[in-house]
Amino acid sequence: MLFSNPTIKETTRFLFSLSSIEKIESKLNEFVLENSQMKGWSEDNEYEQVRIRRAHEAFYKKTDLQIWMQQNNATRFSWSNSHLYISKPKSWYTWVMLDTCINELIVKLLNKHEFITDHQCYIDKNGEKIKISYFWIQHSIILNSNIEGFDCQFIFDNQSNLFIWLHDNKSGNLKKSFEVIDKSQYWICIKKYNYNDEKIYNVIKKDIFNEENPNSVIQILKSIKF
């Protein structure tokens, strides 16, 4: 890369022309603060450009992600199921999606609405496991919580869909109270969202958790008698 890639070659030559380590560090810090200029595979599609820039910036702006990559040998940057991932070669769980809002959305749900998940990535700092704001996915990411006595799952698949599921074994009344998108023996799916939407958290907050909205999920659940 240093020999053949013209951008890397010119940048390296420029950095080595500076007169001190301090000046090199200062210039590198300036580079890190810059927004990505990558155009990706579709110069005419702004949506696709946003996705590639988000993934690109994650590599040079997110220190915890870099540490996680090094500690987990996550060296493969690849395209799979219409998304961009960093992953460990030949692994099935060390996959992190970088081109969508999924990681930021999950952090908000965990911090503001008491969800838990087994999919959060960790890094090791002096023998201590530290959570970072990224989540491993291959087929799905599952978040669990309890809303007004009903078990709830937020399931993110790898096709940009977020499904909201409720467990219905306490009263049998959920199917009467919600429009059912899908169902299993005790669970019903009541909502479906596209987590690529930059504003999706505000939509979810209004639809699910807003106690001033009489049609929100939390308000409907409050009205159901066991």
Instruction: Render pLDDT for 159-177 as a digit per residue (tens, 0 to 9).
Output: 999 999 999 876 677 888 8
Q: What is the mean pLDDT of the chain?
A: 92
Instruction: Render pLDDT for 5-31 as a digit per residue (tens, 0 to 9).
Output: 898 899 999 999 999 999 999 999 999
pTM for the whole structure: 0.88
Q: What is the mean pLDDT of the segment spanning 108-134?
A: 96
Q: What is the pLDDT of residue 170?
A: 65
- Is a pLDDT exceeding 70 seen at residue 216? yes
CA 77, CA 49: separation in Å to the nearest integer? 17
Query: pLDDT band at 183, cuts 50/70/90?
Result: very high
- Is a pLDDT exceeding 80 seen at residue 151? yes
CA 154, CA 105: separation in Å to the nearest integer? 11
Instruction: Render pLDDT for 50-77 as a digit per residue (tens, 0 to 9).
Output: 899 999 999 999 999 999 999 999 999 9
Q: What is the pLDDT of residue 225?
A: 65
CA 55, CA 99: separation in Å to the nearest integer? 5
Q: What is the pLDDT of residue 171?
A: 63
Q: What is the mean pLDDT of the segment spanning 36-47?
A: 80
Beta bridge partner(s), residue 96 = 86, 136
Instruction: Render pLDDT for 186-204 as a digit per residue (tens, 0 to 9).
Output: 899 999 999 988 899 999 9
Q: What is the pLDDT of residue 226?
A: 58
